[in-house]
Each structure stands twice: as C-alpha cells, then as structure tokens.
Structure 1
Amino acid sequence: MTQHDYLLAWGLYAFAALGCLLVFCKLTGWMWRWLREPLRVLLAVLLLSPTIVDPAKDSFAPAIAISTLDIAFKVGGNVWRAASDLAMYGLFAFVLYAVFVLVRWPLENRARERRRQVEAAAERRRVEDEALDHAPLAADLNDRYRDRSPTASAPAQSGSGRIEPRI
C-alpha cells in the first residue's frame, strides 16, 4: 500500500465515520440531553480513535476495526493495544466533555435566570396594561387637557342636554 492509498483510505474512513456520527445524532435527537451527549462522545471516540498497526511502518488504523478483526479472527496481537488506545482516547474525550459541561452549567443558569426576569417583567407589564384597559375613559379633574374656564365647567341645564361648541 502506497502513501497515497493509505491517505485515501483514511479519508474515506473519516468521511464514512462522520456520516455515521451525523446519522447517530439524528437518531438520538429525541433523548434527554444528559444521556444523548455522552453517547455521542462515546460513539465519536469509538469511530475516530486510531491505533498503531505496525510500529515499524508507523501505520495506523481505526482502533475499533483492529479490535473487531483481531477478536473475530482470534489473532489477539493488537487487541490489547487497541483497547488501551480506546480507553485513553475515551478518558481524554470524557474529561474534555466534563470541562465543557462545567463551563456551560453556570452560563445556562444565568441565562435561565435572565429569561425568568424578562418573563416576570413582561407579566407585570401585561397586568398593568390590563389595569389601564379597565380605567374609566372620562377625564378626571386633574387632567391637563380639560378646559377649566367657568363657562365650560358645567353644561347648561336646558331641556335638550345639548352642549354647544365654544367658538
């Protein structure tokens, strides 16, 4: 296998692995987040962790493929190396995931509290608007647009009750 073939095979494998991750993300989209995310990290580790096949040539292969083939054909030469590589990459990935969760947690709590404050303010505004909607429409005595001249203070008590406009 030439270097070009080796890189082509890894490129095809990476493309297929990313496709599998995408399908798995779609399949686990309905799950609870604290279960879904660790499962995705686990699958990414299983699909994307390499292990050395031949130390003399520096040839690598996917650790899950080496483990599966060695167990299926009962060879066992590279199983322990592949398993240890999977464990090491898994440890690194889950530590990074834990750091990500610890950074995200206070940010989400702050955003949730901010959202509650905005909703409470909107509820207060809604209650105030409803109270204003039920207020009487007639102007009270302190209304600054009301005419306070003595002639316009009360309509004449004529029989028709008609108010003439002032010119």
Structure 2
Amino acid sequence: MTAETTVSRWRDQALAPLLLAYHLRTEAEKGVAVSAVGDLPPRYRAEVLDPRAAFAADAVWVAETGGTAVGCVVASASDDGSLEVKRLWVDPAGRGRGTAKALVGAVLGHAADTGAASVRLSVWQWRQDAVGLYERLGFVRVDSWDDRPGLVCMTRPTTNS
C-alpha cells in the first residue's frame, strides 16, 4: 500500500531541496551540467538559497508523501491578470502517481479563488510527458510570450476546472 500524497502551502525546509533538484535537472537538460547550488545562474541560486524571499509575492505548494516532500509548484501573478505556473517539479522516483496533477490542481483552485481569468505556463519542448499532462488538464498551446528558444507556451481558462 502506498502512502497518500497531500498538497499544502509550503514550508521553507521542504522547498529548497525540490528547487535545487528542479534547477540541476533543467540545466543538465539544457546542456549545462552543474552539480551544486553554487554553480547555478544567480537567479536560480537565489531561489534555492532563500525561497521565501524569491517567492515572496507568489503562492507556493509542496506535495508530500509519507511525510517526505516529493514535489512543488509556484504560481505567480502575471501582468495580464492570469496566474503563471512556475517550478512544477515532482521527484522522478515519485512520478506517475498523480502528484503533478494535484499540484496543478492547487494552482487552478487558487486561480479561481483569486479571480484570475486564466492560468498560463511555459515548458521546455523536450519535456513531452509534461506537455502531455498539461494538454490532458485542458491547457492549449499559444504563441510564445518568452523569447527563449525551445519553450512551449500554454494557457487555459480558470473556468475549465
């Protein structure tokens, strides 16, 4: 029997290791293998070293299974009145159990509660499993708002919950 996964507002000590894993994996996928927080670009290093300051204006959730943090997500307000999903991460050992769906669900619920008309996100094109998840959750591809090559931008109205 597997332990139940819960999603709740974050605790500092649970978030930093998840963000570090996210950034190390992302940098490796971009072809810039780094092995420690000190090797990350300054913006990402700041998130890991002081998540409370980095995400002071954002809503953040952590997923836990059996008391262990296994995933996280950040929702940031965008200038267009939408919420933007950032830093969605589930530990590879815990994937395939609905954790990412639950974390996105927390953002969608928060968007509805705060009156945001839509939720948007960008995802690296090589993360096909993530793109598929977002499409199953009602997100659609849109023209990019980010000039970095390799990003897929997606959005969905809040009312599709």
TM-score by length of 1: 0.26
Using the size of structure 2 for normalisation, the TM-score is 0.27
**Which structure dedicates a bigger proportion of its chain to helix?**
1
Higher relative contact order (CA 8 A, sep 6+): 2
